Amino acid sequence: MKTVSENACFGGVQGVYSHASTACACDMTFGLFLPKEAKAGPVPVLWYLSGLTCTHENAMTKAGAQAWAAREGIALVFPDTSPRGEDVADDEAYDLGKGAGFYVNATEAPWAPHYRMWDYVAEELPALIGRDFAVDLERQSITGHSMGGHGALTLAMALPGRYRSVSAFAPICNPSGADWGRKQLTAYLGADEAAWARHDASKVMRETGFDGPVLVDVGTKDQFIDLLRPETLAQAVAERRQQAELRLQPGYDHSYFFVSSFMEDHVSFHAEALEA
């Protein structure tokens, strides 16, 4: 593993690291914030999964999460959103290929050799940071924005016992029913919609749910709200009687101004679960 950069940040360290990924068969880069408490021993971990077009850097520099994580003594992990490299398949559209991994394991050409973001986030990267940094993998929670909110919700529900809490900012709630999803799931997983079900948060919520607290925020002025379909997740939560708080925030859009406005709420929400 290579240290790309390390900067003092709210009493802790904001690092950026790269490594050769087995899951993605290429070099991957991630951000990791460690609070000052990590100098004394392992600290709980909050994963932040970013959205379309993003790298590890967007949330790391725009979300304002480090201040609140430092207050709570929590580490933050900022993975990339897709594999990278000259030999990695890509597409001219912003919503497919690099920057748009959708947190799935692709099975279709030309994506299958590298686009295994599910395995990367669920298995490879946790093992790496657990080995090399002072983090407590017995205390993990997960959040994300947009495509990353979709990833956070589906990972949390598919891996019972892994995460103590899950939250999302403007998640893609029903990708199998929207243009932000059908295109990508077809490309990565094929035309058989049965293969998509485990990557549709609304469907998984209805069938499985999450054994813990859930928090979701969506802005009422989100320019992509018709693609996010938050009403499908709300219906699934109601049908399952899932412990969840789903909030529509008046006047907010899809940007990081929205994310940063409610980041304190989300970090505090996870801190409570991680301390339990």
Q: What is the pLDDT of residues 13-35, one digit of tens each?
A: 999 999 999 999 999 999 999 99
Burial category of 223 from C-beta neighbours within 10 Å (exposed 0-12, middle 13-18, buried 19 and up)? exposed
Task: Tell me the CATH number at 68.
Answer: 3.40.50.1820
For residue 222, indicate whether it is catalytic: yes
pLDDT digits 0-9 by tens, 152-207: 999 999 999 999 999 999 999 999 999 999 999 999 999 999 999 999 999 999 99
Choice among 80, 200, 217, 222 that is catalytic: 222
Calpha distance 19→223 (Å, rounded): 36
Mean pLDDT by 10 residues, the chain (276 residues): 98 98 98 98 98 98 98 98 98 98 98 98 98 98 98 98 98 96 98 97 98 98 98 98 98 98 98 93
Residue 121 DSSP class: I
The count of structural domains within the chain is: 1
Phi and psi of 187, rounded to 5°? -65, -45
For residue 5, indicate whether it is catalytic: no
pLDDT given for residue 234 in this prediction:
98
* Other Cβ atoms within 10 Å of 3 Cβ, number: 9
- Nearest CA to 169 out of 220, 223, 215 is that of 215
Choice among 82, 141, 146, 202 that is catalytic: 146
For residue 176, indicate whether it is catalytic: no
**Domain range spanning residue 67?**
2-274
